[in-house]
Structure 1
Amino acid sequence: MARLCTGVKSFKDPVHGYVDLCARLTPIVDSWVMQRLRGIKQTAFAHMVYHGMEHSRFNHSLGAAHLAGEVLNFISANTRLYFKSVGGGEFANTLLNSSEVFQLAALVHDVGHLPFSHASEVGIMEAKLIYRIPDFEKLPFRHEAYTYSLLRLVGRLAEEAGIEPVFTKSVSDDLRLILQGSGSKTMALDYGSECAANVLHQLIAGGLDVDRMDYLIRDSLYAGVRYGIFDVDRLVRVLLASPLLLEKGNRGAEVSRKACQVMVIDKGVSIVEAFLLARFYMFSEVYLHRVVEAYNSIYGRLFSILARDGLLSIEKNSGEIDIPTPQSIAEEKQWALEEWRSLDDLAVMQLIRRIYLGKTKASQEAKTLTSMLIERRHPRLYKVIEDKKLWGLYISYLYEGYAPEWAKPFLDELLELQNRHPLLMVRPLRVDVISLDRLGVYHRATGEITTFSSTGEGGGQELRRLQKLAELSLYRVVVFARQGEEEIAQKAINILLDLQKEGTRSERA
């Protein structure tokens, strides 16, 4: 059985006042795996618009780990109180015994980010889809694959620091259960451990999680806006979790579908609503600001152009910057770990500046894009089409390679147009839609638990209202191009509008 968090290491923090971590996490905080995140901006190129947004993934990771400890303390106390007669005390103990591994999971949840965070993921997608660079097929679209590839290394560092596993036989497998959930295919020691790990997964990646709680407030502070401000201290105090409840079915005792689930006490529904609205407005007003996305798009396209030209390469292929694959990192190949350790915003910006100053040979398109970033000249031509179905067609083709047969000619033409005209950028954007299907409301007066599948009134209505807020979104396809390239931009817009019309016709058919 793992030990409780004994001893605290505190870090002064502009958001939470102090960030308090279990003391045995200190060696992981000091490790290169975490320190690398100091060199990666939390919000990519948002600082080009909101000049205060220079903060890093390291700041956010410490904040998320702090909130993980706060949430665990309150959720355990509430679970012990409200589920006392059905094993709440024992379940609360299991949750508290996971203090170290849960804070560790929150601490390292972003260690797989590439330079400039999600903006490089756009570059990988375009390198694959627009320029069809074979080596880049080895790279994932999302940073989580890199995070998972580092868990064995992180787990070993943690065990050397005295941290013990709770749910499995190793800390690295505990981390997989918490971060990946059922997708990890990792077996817990018993049902109770599986139940607790499932709750922790929801608290770190379930929509109402410590990741979003921290970055909304932190990004608001550094942006100088109030869109993402909500009462996080109140929110962590109104959460609880249902233990491994059993109910009688046709085949005897069965696990209740309300078990192993994060819940909000009925008095806390309003603060959850405030959290969901804060998330929506931060995306609509800050993260998806048209100039922010213009610079993110310039960088994403530059990334793919540098890959096309061989300046960015995969697996020691002698580019100016070599990017290791998650598999090589998972295998802990020394050269891969060394390359990853030095792969941050500074490394990429040094290459961009060398191109800008003419010290590194590059194509004319790369030179133009680098000058747009360095000289802060974003595309002035901007067009946005708000259409969820159009967005869905484009996004599924980009990231899943799927589209109805009638849509493929339009989408292929759109990609080919960008291939021939690298300064034309067509991007799908949306608010970070989340699902609260695993959220329940606990009613103190009756002890009743209502979930999204409930058909009753009262709590059921509250949950439906919360779900509507969780799904509140904007679905945009945006077109960027430089001044003087209106004709090419209009051609891309016409393709999108034709795709939109054909989609309407196909629905009616």
Structure 2
Amino acid sequence: MKIFNDPVHGTMIFPPKLVEVIDTPQFQRLRNIKQLGTTYHVYPGASHNRFEHSLGTAHLAGKFIRMLQLNQPELDITEDDVLCVEIAGLCHDLGHGPFSHMFDQMFLSAVDGKNEQWQHEQGSCDMFDYILRTHNIKLSKCDERHTKMAKMIKLMIKPPKKNGPQEDRDLVKEKPFLYEIISNERNKVDVDKWDYFARDCHQLGIRNSFDHERFMRLCRVIEVDGVKTICAHQKESKNLYEMFHIRAALHKRAYQHRISSAVNLMICDAFISAEKNGFCVGEYKMSEVMEDMKTYTDFDDNIIDRIMQSKLAGMEKSQDILKRVKSRDFYRFVGSKIIPLSQKEKCDDRKAIAEKIANIAGLPSDRNVHELVAVNVAKFDYGMKHKNPCDEFYFYAKEKPNVAFKVKSEEVSEMLPKVYGEYEIQVFCKDKVYEKKVKEAFKTWAENVL
């Protein structure tokens, strides 16, 4: 057993099998990947890493599954099930690249749209397999059981799609509620969010009004349309809305803050330029390094220092951008425009938006537009695009604890939002010489975009 003293959850105790995973270089790598990426440039307290978030998620996952095991023995939750849930919570973020979502959501999409085929959840599953194989970690003495448990863990990290392999879907059907604890695709209510809401709010100095402890204690598994599903007491409906409100607020105030977006764009530009000029991690390009988990183990936020120290020809542009980041000479924010989810097509092509604004500004024809203007599209929602995720959640009443039902939003409050998402187009000028022109051009463009 190993004990960790955590500023959010207090004492966390992990069994030997989790400690085996924690003590591998692949898991320790998460100490060098900031949980909130470039948000550290806005909030000095946002210095926590994926490492402590992963420990916290494993802690909450174990706590939650044991509550269900104790309160509902008829669910036949075994110790192997508990171990799988804990390890899935521990390993769910192993696949994150440098600066978290900057890598998989911004950089990879800018390089041949590679994030359409790869996301960090797949990287987490690949890295988990690599850990088991490389360090000879056995989840069970029985090889057949070990193989099944490893598959269960990967499906908890990355749930199968409706049209996914039948074998995977059949495995999930055995105890479907187990696959709602770490990554809940049905309604986005899971312990991963509970930890990062509490942890991020703690580090950012923002009040967290969602009580995950109370919510967890009032959950139970009920059969809904033949599927055993995690449900909550109906009086927790307000608390559930508060959870998604906190999510939206954190995105607005921190995760997609305009300064954080500017730094993300700068690091992304530095990565793209470095890759074009032959910079590699081991034998792999940065956009291909996830193909080899051994090399990926050494791929973290410290890649910035490696780029800065590189002697390769043509690295000057990348290094100049990173020097600007270090001296806080960020891309200049010139304005933003809110776009309804119903008009998503207006913000699909960021390059086209940049070109239109550059044309209005009359920027020099001998300069590449994308070296002068950058566009970021920030998405704010409750986790399910235009949908209200609470509409997908089931509740129960004290007098009928085994009957699940939905609670309509108007039954909770008439003050709840009527729209559950929006886009914000954020525009930046990369060269301060043209800042005024780009700002005026943005105003003209914004007046006519809708």
TMscore range, shorter length:
0.7 to 0.9
Partners of 1:69 and 1:103 within 8 A in 2: yes
**Partner residue of 1:211?**
192
Question: 1: CA distance between counterparts of 2:32 and 2:321?
Answer: 22
> What's 1:340 paired with?
296
SS at match of 1:221: helix
Q: Where does residue 86 of structure 1 map in the other structure?
A: none
Indicate how the Cα distance of structure 1 residues 434 and 421 shifts in structure 2: closer, same or farther if over 3 A, else same: closer
Query: Could you report, residue by residue, the CA deviation over 1:130-172 in whole angstroms, capped at 9, with x for unpaired residues?
Result: xxxxxxx498453122123224234545852547799994232
1:310 is matched with 278
Match of residue 172, structure 1, among 146, 150, 153: 150
C-alpha distance in 2, partners of 1:203/1:338? 29
For the residues of structure 1 that align with 2:315 and 2:289, how far apart are their CA atoms?
Answer: 26
Quote the residue 2:22 is aligned against: 29
1:233 is matched with 213
The alignment partner of 1:61 has SS state of helix
1:18 to 11, 28, 32: 11
Instruction: Report the AA paired with residue 175 of structure 1.
Output: I
2:61 to 65, 68, 74: 68
Cα displacement (A) at 1:48: 1.1
Contact 1:69 1:99 in 2 (8 A): yes
Q: Using the alignment, how far apart are the partners of 2:212 and 2:59 within structure 1?
A: 12
Q: Which amino acid aligns with 2:374?
A: M
Q: Deviations over 1:35-59 (max 9, x none)?
A: 1111111111111111121111011
Name the counterpart of 1:120: 103
Cα distance in 2, alignment partners of residues 266 and 352 from structure 1: 53
Aligned CA-pair RMSD:
3.6
Aligned residue runs from structure 1 range 379-398, under 5 A: 379-389=331-341, 392-393=344-345, 396=348
User: CA 1:189–1:351 in structure 2 vs 1: closer, same or farther (change >3 Å)?
Assistant: closer
Q: Which residue of 1 aligns with 2:173?
A: 194
Q: Structure 1: where are the runs of 5+ without partners?
A: 1-7, 81-88, 130-136, 246-255, 329-335, 399-408, 453-458, 502-509
Residue correspondence of structure 1 range 5-404 to structure 2 within 5 A: 8-78=1-71, 80=72, 89-91=73-75, 93-94=76-77, 97-121=80-104, 122-128=106-112, 137=114, 140=117, 142-156=119-133, 159-160=137-138, 162=140, 169-183=147-161, 185=165, 187=167, 194-196=173-175, 198-206=176-184, 207-226=188-207, 228-242=208-222, 245=223, 256-257=224-225, 259-312=227-280, 316=283, 322=286, 324-326=288-290, 328=291, 336-346=292-302, 348-354=303-309, 360-362=312-314, 365-389=317-341, 392-393=344-345, 396=348
Query: What amino acid maps onto 1:483 in structure 2?
Result: K
Q: What is aligned with 1:252?
A: none
Give the conservation status (yes or no) of the 8 Å contact 2:245–2:382.
no
Counterparts in 2 of 1:190 and 1:410: CA distance versus 1, 3 Å: closer
**Contact residue 21 and residue 27 of structure 2 kept, 8 A:** yes
TM-score computed with the length of structure 1 as normaliser? 0.74
User: For the structure 1 residues 63 and 138, does the alpha-carbon distance in structure 2 shift closer, same or farther, using more than 3 Å as the test?
Assistant: closer
Indicate how the Cα distance of structure 1 residues 421 and 270 shifts in structure 2: closer, same or farther if over 3 A, else same.
closer
Cα distance in 2, alignment partners of residues 451 and 158 from structure 1: 45
Alpha-carbon separation, structure 2, partners of 1:312 and 1:390: 41
Conserved? CA contact 2:138–2:146, under 8 Å: no
* CA shift for structure 1 position 204: 1.4
Match in the other structure for 2:398: 444
What is the aligned partner in structure 2 of residue 422 from structure 1? 371
One-letter code aligned to 1:222:
Q
1:212 Cα offset (Å): 0.7
1:472: Cα distance to partner?
A: 3.6
Q: Is the 8 A contact 2:39 2:255 kept in 1?
A: yes
Work out the CA distance in 1 between the residues paired with 2:368 and 2:77: 54
How many Å apart are 1:373 and its aligned residue?
0.8
Distance in structure 2 (CA, Å) of the matches to 1:470 and 1:449:
28
1:119 maps to a residue whose letter is M
Question: Which shifted more, 22-31 or 98-107?
Answer: 22-31
The runs of 5 or more residues in structure 2 that have no matched partner are 360-366
Percent of paired sites with the same residue: 21
Partners of 1:95 and 1:471 lie apart in 2 by 42
Using the alignment, how far apart are the partners of 2:60 and 2:173 within structure 1? Answer: 22
SS of the residue corresponding to residue 45 of structure 1 reads helix
Cα 1:352/1:470, change in 2 over 3 Å? farther
Give the aligned partner of residue 484 of structure 1. Answer: 433
The worse-fitting range, judged by mean Cα deviation, of 413-422 and 429-438 is: 413-422
1:297-345: per-residue Cα shift (whole Å, max 9, x none)? 22122222222333257x825x6xx55454x3xxxxxxx3332111111
For 1:456-467, list aligned pairs within 5 A: 459-461=407-409
Counterpart contact for 2:333–2:426, Cα < 8 Å: no
